[in-house]
């Protein structure tokens, strides 16, 4: 009977009644173990419920995540930018972007200031990993009015380039070969990172502060452009912020029109994912119903979870042309599963995106479907006050308490077994002694009777 592993099989005796005594000991241990066995059965049941609550928590957390994705999709990710002339610029949208049309005229794509080490008394470098343009290790880099102390501790051209790049100056230093493969002539190339007419100089502190760099070409220039007919603007970057949340990257000169508008693609994808998450949560809840239901069949939490899902699906708005989930393409089949119809959503978004967004609302503002659904799901999944975490914690506490009680009961049963075993061992020894005495007297009587028959 006992599932605790307690056994009286260790009892042995020497009397004719030892097997009966061992059985009596086992019966007593089994009877004493019944409460402990019942606790172990209850503990196993609770562990199954705990596991099921864990699965439900994961499903409803996934549903909350899917809801948050809808909320994100109604923000800046619902906007997109189109370019009439992709040779002039590309565009991206971000937080705070507004719908609108922007005319961009780029007259100059800008240029970096490029310099190259000269032949003015500098050493020939055939291996930039072994030697430098100068025997000096101290240099001064000047970018416009800013100066930087450069120390080439490696004493190589590669080391000098790395020191410049680590100086914090707004330049990029590289090593280039202006000779041939057989007769290399490695030079230091320093380019300003801004698109501007910068001045870049590198002085050799160990050689009378001689300037080591010669500017190439006509020098740098600003990016020049105008927006919506406004006067030309100069920029030191080809990445332009034309409006809050609208960033344009200049690619070439010319005119282009940038149109920012909302589209429902990201919202549609998020709604479809929400339907899948809803159905997964519903399927797990349904496993705990009926005669052959799961570990939580009959538990009140299943009713609460069902009510929550019904509330999500039954939400309706009060105003506008979009007043229900069905209007945005979310409908229920005969089994209660949520289906998403992209065509229905596209029609609603195409005719009145404003009403779609108003119906959906937002989580942060606690408005619309998103606000109501978030309140419902928070009541289920909040780590401190949610139904599922609280139920899981309650069961965990109960399992631990039962485990403690089982340990205590096991100790009591073990003590009982040891006490009974000692008592029965003593009784068996007494019985065995009496049996030996009985056998002795029986043998004496048998011997006397035999002698009498023989006439002794």
> pLDDT tens digits for 376-427?
999 999 999 999 999 999 999 998 998 888 888 888 888 888 888 888 788 8
pLDDT score recorded for residue 341: 96
pLDDT score recorded for residue 2: 42
pLDDT score recorded for residue 27: 85
Contact 62, 388 (CB under 8 A): no
Domain locations in the chain as residue ranges: 12-82+262-429, 114-215
Q: What is the dihedral of CA 141, 143, 146, 149, to 10 degrees?
A: -10
Indicate whether 8 pLDDT > 60: no
> pLDDT tens digits for 158-209?
999 999 999 999 999 999 999 999 999 999 999 999 999 999 999 999 877 6
> pLDDT tens digits for 50-81?
999 999 999 999 999 999 999 999 988 788 89
> pLDDT tens digits for 281-322?
999 999 998 888 889 998 899 999 999 999 999 999 867 789
pLDDT score recorded for residue 4: 46
Q: To 5 degrees, how large is the angle CA 213–CA 216–CA 217? A: 160
Indicate whether 370 pLDDT > 80: yes
pLDDT score recorded for residue 456: 60
Question: Of residues 377 and 37, which shows the higher confidence score?
Answer: 377
For residue 447, what pLDDT band results from cuts at 50, 70 and 90?
confident
Q: How far apart are the first and last CA of the chain?
A: 61
Structure tokens at 453: 């028959």
For residue 9, what pLDDT band results from cuts at 50, 70 and 90?
low
d(CA 451, CA 244): 129
Indicate whether 351 pLDDT > 60: yes
Q: What DSSP element (H or E) covers 45?
A: helix 18-73
d(CA 369, CA 358): 9
Structure tokens at 368: 């619309």
CA dihedral (127, 131, 134, 138) positive or negative: positive
Mean pLDDT over 328-345 rounds to 95
Please list the residues that pair with 250 across neighbouring strands: 89
> pLDDT tens digits for 84-134?
999 999 999 988 888 899 999 999 999 999 999 998 889 999 999 999 999
Tell me the pLDDT of the chain averaged across its residues.
90
Residue carrying the six token digits 């009397």: 15
């Amino acid at each position: 009977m006992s599932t605790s592993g307690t056994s009286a099989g260790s009892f042995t005796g020497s009397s004719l009644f030892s097997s009966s005594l061992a059985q009596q000991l086992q019966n007593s241990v089994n009877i004493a173990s019944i409460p402990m066995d019942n606790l172990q059965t209850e503990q196993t049941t609770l562990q199954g419920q705990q596991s099921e609550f864990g699965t439900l928590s994961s499903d409803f957390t996934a549903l909350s995540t899917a809801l948050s994705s809808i909320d994100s999709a109604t923000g800046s990710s619902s906007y997109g930018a189109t370019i009439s002339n992709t040779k002039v610029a590309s565009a991206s949208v971000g937080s705070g972007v507004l719908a609108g049309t922007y005319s961009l005229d780029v007259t100059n794509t800008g240029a970096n200031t490029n310099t190259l080490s000269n032949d003015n008394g500098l050493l020939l470098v055939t291996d930039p990993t072994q030697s430098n343009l100068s025997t000096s290790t101290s240099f001064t880099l000047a970018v416009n009015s800013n100066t930087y102390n450069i120390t080439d501790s490696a004493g190589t051209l590669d080391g000098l380039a790395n020191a410049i790049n680590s100086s914090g100056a707004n330049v990029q230093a590289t090593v280039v070969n202006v000779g041939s493969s057989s007769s290399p002539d490695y030079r230091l190339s320093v380019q300003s990172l801004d698109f501007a007419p910068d001045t870049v100089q590198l002085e050799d502190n160990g050689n009378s502060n001689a300037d080591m760099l010669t500017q190439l070409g006509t020098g740098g220039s600003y990016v020049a452009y105008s927006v919506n007919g406004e006067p030309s603007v100069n920029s030191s970057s080809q990445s332009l912020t034309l409006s809050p949340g609208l960033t344009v990257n200049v690619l070439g000169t010319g005119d282009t029109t940038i149109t920012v508008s909302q589209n429902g693609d990201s919202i549609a994808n998020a709604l479809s994912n929400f339907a899948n998450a809803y159905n997964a949560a519903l399927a797990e809840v349904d496993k705990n119903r009926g005669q052959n239901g799961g570990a939580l069949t009959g538990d009140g939490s299943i009713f609460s979870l069902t009510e929550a899902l019904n509330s999500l699906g039954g939400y309706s708005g009060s105003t506008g042309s979009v007043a229900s989930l069905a209007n945005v393409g979310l409908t229920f089949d005969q089994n209660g599963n949520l289906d998403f119809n992209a065509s229905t959503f596209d029609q609603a978004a195409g005719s009145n995106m404003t009403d779609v967004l108003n119906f959906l609302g937002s989580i942060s503002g606690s408005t619309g479907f998103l606000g109501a659904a978030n309140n419902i799901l928070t009541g289920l999944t909040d780590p401190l006050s949610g139904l599922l975490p609280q139920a899981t914690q309650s069961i965990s506490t109960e399992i631990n308490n039962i485990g403690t009680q089982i340990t205590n009961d096991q100790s009591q049963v073990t003590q009982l077994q040891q006490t009974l075993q000692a008592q029965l061992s003593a009784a068996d020894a007494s019985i065995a002694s009496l049996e030996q005495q009985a056998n002795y007297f029986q043998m004496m009587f048998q011997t006397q009777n035999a002698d009498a028959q023989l006439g002794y």
